[in-house]
Amino acid sequence: MERGDAVVISDVTAGYGRRTVLRGLSARLPLSGVTAVVGPNGSGKSTLLGVLAGTVRPLGGTVDLGGAGRPGYVAQRDAVSNALPITVRETVAMGRWALRGPWRRLTAHDRAIVEECMAALDVAPLAARRLSTLSGGQRQRVLLAQGLAQEPGLLLLDEPTTGLDLRAEQHISAVLDLQKTRGVTVVHATHDLTAARRADHCLLLDEGRLIAEGPPASVLTPRTMDQVFTRLEHARP
Ligand SMILES: Nc1ncnc2c1ncn2[C@@H]1O[C@H](COP(=O)(O)OP(=O)(O)OP(=O)(O)O)[C@@H](O)[C@H]1O
Ligand SMILES: [Mg+2]
């Protein structure tokens, strides 16, 4: 990758209060490509997405979005409150409010984009349903529709396919591929190694450090997987 064709993360340290999570992390994520972020629970995947989204401020180091465009973040499904009494359409519309500011009325153009994004994720028939009454897989598709409604140049997805059946997972993969062909830079955190292997680029994290970076086939090797995931087995009493 040449300069100017990547999101460049340089020596980033970040955390919450006194807890340091990411420790001197450097990586290059291809523009208009799909990057998968893999690692055990607590390794810092969501924190890294937060840094890219601008919601977690690095304590040190820099992030250069390299012309990727505006970030749009789709939260891990269980990080979204079930108690909000909002409908599917309102949830997706929040993606437009994120651009316009909450007190502006949405334009006809905004509303058209909301309908388009619901159709792309096959949730238009659920538009009037409350988010809290949906199944997990349906909610996940609604959240992705909300992310697309922001028309981000850098689409950040936290475990978009966790807990989904094969069909829903393939649907989401196809949507991500389409975004990529439209020039969007996609970064997703995932525990799904099949999905990770389909990405253009892969980061493997462990305890907030980068263990390996590059094409998935060279990152997700038996050796690195053993190094990162099997240690957890050893930790058991
Ligand atoms: N808001 C927060 N305040 C304090 N600590 C946090 C916060 N969010 C995450 N952490 C801590 O930061 C570390 C990394 O968490 P993070 O959510 O980035 O991991 P992850 O790789 O996304 O894990 P998972 O696979 O479980 O989603 C964990 O030790 C976690 O407890
Ligand atoms: Mg996470």
Query: pLDDT tens for residues 33-81?
Result: 999 999 999 999 999 999 999 999 999 999 999 889 999 999 877 666 6
Interval between CA 43 and ligand 1 midpoint (Å): 7
Residue 110 lies in a domain: no
Residue 81 lies in a domain: no
What are the structure tokens assigned to 29, written together? 């994520």
Residue 62 lies in a domain: yes
Q: What is the CATH number of the domain that holds 18?
A: 3.40.50.300
Whether the predicted pLDDT of 3 surpasses 70: no
Which tens digits make up the pLDDT trace of 127-166?
Answer: 999 988 998 888 899 999 999 999 999 999 999 988 888 8
Residue 56 belongs to what domain range? 1-70+156-163+185-237
Element holding 171 (H helix, E strand) = helix 166-181
Q: Which residue has a Cα nearest atom 31 of ligand 1?
A: 42
* pTM of the full structure: 0.92
Q: Is 39 left (phi over 0), alpha (psi -120 to 50) or beta?
A: left
**What atom of ligand 1 comes closest to residue 76's alpha carbon?**
27
**What atom of ligand 1 comes closest to residue 17's alpha carbon?**
4
Q: C-alpha angle 58/59/65, rounded to 5°? A: 25
Domain count, the chain: 1
